[in-house]
């Protein structure tokens, strides 16, 4: 049976009880106005992607540099500062896949309003990955707050297991246990993340579902710069 990368129903129910499932907050930004009024460009749905030529990245990111992933979508652009110190294997894998063009033309297949948006699946149905796994166990005190980006995993996989699917938290505090390897945090374009969240269909279930119109990543580009102290 295929493994679906999702969040256990009990966790989602607890989040709802705790008031995490809330009305979507719209905010202004630098990508074409506020999330409330800006719209996403119409694009075809992402097609399943062949991963037979994907190479597993082996080189970790340098500790004396800051790495940023710029995610360009049909809803705008947001940027993630990668947390290479906390998650060296996860960030190296993500950056290596991005540099291979793995994420280009992949979609966001799950939106859970007031909780997370999730993408990076080459199959597009929540069951795919790059053909390998990494693992960085997050600290016990990790908080998955708004803008935190972490890696999805199968329910039976050990804490910190990661493939290619990632989620961006849209709740003030998603109330998740320390199970998901932290990729980094959105440092620019949180309004775009909210705009993507707003693409949820009117009848989206609590655990999330596909957007009512396709949300596709045109590209994920990795940039780096020396740390200020260097």
Tens digit of each residue's pLDDT, the chain (230 residues): 344 554 544 444 444 433 333 322 222 334 444 444 479 999 999 999 999 999 999 899 999 999 999 999 999 999 999 999 999 999 999 999 999 999 999 999 999 999 999 999 999 999 999 999 999 999 999 999 999 999 999 999 999 999 999 999 999 999 999 999 999 999 999 999 999 999 998 899 988 999 999 999 999 999 999 987 65
Is residue 146 assigned to a domain? Answer: yes
pLDDT of residue 19: 36
Q: What is the pTM of this model?
A: 0.85
Distance CA 176, CA 29 (A): 27
* 3-state SS class at 208: coil
Is residue 47 assigned to a domain? Answer: no
What is the number of structural domains in the chain? 1
Q: Which two tokens stand for residue 220?
A: 């994920």
Is residue 169 assigned to a domain? Answer: yes
Is residue 156 assigned to a domain? Answer: yes
Tell me how far apart the 2 most distant CA atoms of the chain are, in Å.
51
Q: For position 94, which CATH number holds? A: 2.40.100.10
Instruction: Please report, in angstroms and rounded to a whole number, the separation of the first and last CA atoms in the chain.
Output: 49
**89 lies in which domain range?**
9-34+64-225
pLDDT of residue 7: 52
Is residue 97 assigned to a domain? Answer: yes
Q: Which two tokens stand for residue 39?
A: 């719209």
Is residue 111 assigned to a domain? Answer: yes
Is residue 44 assigned to a domain? Answer: no
Distance CA 21, CA 148 (A): 17
Is residue 49 assigned to a domain? Answer: no
What totals of helices (H) and strands (E) does the chain contain, helices first? 3, 10
């Amino acid at each position: 049976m295929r493994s679906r990368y999702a969040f256990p129903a009990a966790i989602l129910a607890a989040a709802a009880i705790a008031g995490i499932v809330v009305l979507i907050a719209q905010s202004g930004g630098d990508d074409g106005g506020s999330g409330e009024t800006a719209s996403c460009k119409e694009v075809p749905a992402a097609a399943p992607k062949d991963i037979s030529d994907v190479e597993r990245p082996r080189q970790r990111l340098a500790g004396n540099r800051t790495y940023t992933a710029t995610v360009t979508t049909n809803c705008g652009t947001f940027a993630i500062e990668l947390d290479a110190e906390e998650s060296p294997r996860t960030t190296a894998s993500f950056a290596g896949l991005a540099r291979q063009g793995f994420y280009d033309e992949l979609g966001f297949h799950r939106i859970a309003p007031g909780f997370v948006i999730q993408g990076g699946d080459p199959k597009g149905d929540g069951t795919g990955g790059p053909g390998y796994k990494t693992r960085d166990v997050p600290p016990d005190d990790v908080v998955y707050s708004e803008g935190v980006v972490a890696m999805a995993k199968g329910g039976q996989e050990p804490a910190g297991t990661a493939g290619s699917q990632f989620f961006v938290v849209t709740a003030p505090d998603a109330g998740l246990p320390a199970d998901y390897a932290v990729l980094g945090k959105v440092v620019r374009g949180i309004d775009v993340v909210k705009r993507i969240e707003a693409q949820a269909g009117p009848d989206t279930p609590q655990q999330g579902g596909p957007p009512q119109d396709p949300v596709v990543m045109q590209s994920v580009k990795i940039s780096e710069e020396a740390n200020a102290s260097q």
